[in-house]
Structure 1
């Protein structure tokens, strides 16, 4: 079982029985709007998430994420939702300030 808690969306919690899947897919399947400018292909950083806890439950960073990390566009505690997979466990994340939608209300 997977659990994603989006802390700055009022601790919105997603529980999933799926054994694998991209984080962004689980978020979208649960009706939560999350930015993804390149169509979930790992070509930008608009879907980045700040990982508060549970990094060990994510798949290792792939080539696209390492590319952006080496460019300084992803910090050590940030991952791309469209590339990271959550095989099992709990993940606490935050929406990055630069990627917040104007039509959503965020908490602290």
Structure 2
């Protein structure tokens, strides 16, 4: 069963029986806010997540992600939550510093 752990949201853990789901869908279906300015279309980087562990459990990078990586807008450990699909296993992520909401309490 795939599991998502958001470390700087108090190690919020989201377990799902669904495979092949975009990370942002899993987060939103859990009732957790996650920034996305372009409507989850891969046209910006506001849904950027920092991958701490489990990158191998994600789908390969999309054209949008490769474009932003080539523009140095995504670091090697960053992916777009709206483009990344959790295929299996466990994924540990953090909300990117620049994409934090002011109304959420983040942990270290």
Same fold, TM exceeding 0.5?
Answer: yes
Mapping of residues 1-108 of structure 1, within 5 Å? 1-108=1-108
**Following the alignment from structure 1 to structure 2, what is the Cα–Cα distance between the partners of residues 83 and 29?**
16
> Structure 1 residue runs of 4+, over 4 Å off?
none
C-alpha displacement of 1:20: 1.2
- Which segments of 5 or more consecutive residues in structure 1 lack a partner in the other structure? none
| Deviation sequence 1:10-45 (CA, Å, 0-9, x none) | 000000000211000000000010000000000000
**Following the alignment from structure 1 to structure 2, what is the Cα–Cα distance between the partners of residues 37 and 19?**
25
* Number of residue pairs the alignment of both structures matches: 108
- Which segments of 5 or more consecutive residues in structure 2 lack a partner in the other structure? none
After superposition, the CA RMSD in angstroms is 0.4
TM-score normalised per structure 1 = 0.99
